Amino acid sequence: MDFRFLRVLELLKEWISVAVALVTVLVAILTFLRARQVGGWKAFGLGPAPQGDAETTAENIKRLIAEAVPGASPESKQYLLLKEYHAQGIAQSKISFWFWSLRRWASR
């Protein structure tokens, strides 16, 4: 009788390990899909690392905006730059809130 109880406990332990692994894979897949929605993979550094300092990066962004909209007025270019800046800020906030929520949930 005691042997059967130990065997059931061992089997339960194995199934819990499998369940935890499946939940981990599911969370990773959902994180991947959600990050694609908010454009967050750039923040995770999956692409090549930016070269140079902040001024070089700012000049590159200005150049890209100028190439994207060649005939735009300076006000339109500034608007596009601010729009991109705020979009990135919102995307980062969503990712930060998700990690904050996960950390809070895990600490319970």
Domain that holds residue 77: 2-46+73-106
Query: What are the tens digits of pLDDT across the range 45-103?
Result: 555 555 556 677 777 777 777 777 777 787 877 787 788 778 878 878 877 877 777 77
> Is residue 31 assigned to a domain?
yes
User: Does the pLDDT at position 18 exceed 80?
Assistant: yes
**CA nearest to 84, candidates 102, 65, 70:** 65
Q: How many domains does the chain have?
A: 1
> Is residue 61 assigned to a domain?
no
Q: Which residues, including other chains, have CB under 8 Å from residue 2's CB and lie 6 or more apart?
A: none
Identify the burial level of 65 via C-beta atoms within 10 angstroms of its C-beta, where 0-12 means exposed, 13-18 middle and 19 or more buried: middle
Query: Residue 27 — very low, low, confident or very high, per pLDDT cuts 50/70/90?
Result: very high
User: Would you say the pTM of this structure is higher than 0.75?
Assistant: no
> Is residue 68 assigned to a domain?
no
> Is residue 19 assigned to a domain?
yes
Q: Specify the range with the lowest mean pLDDT, choosing from 10-14, 19-23, 43-47.
A: 43-47
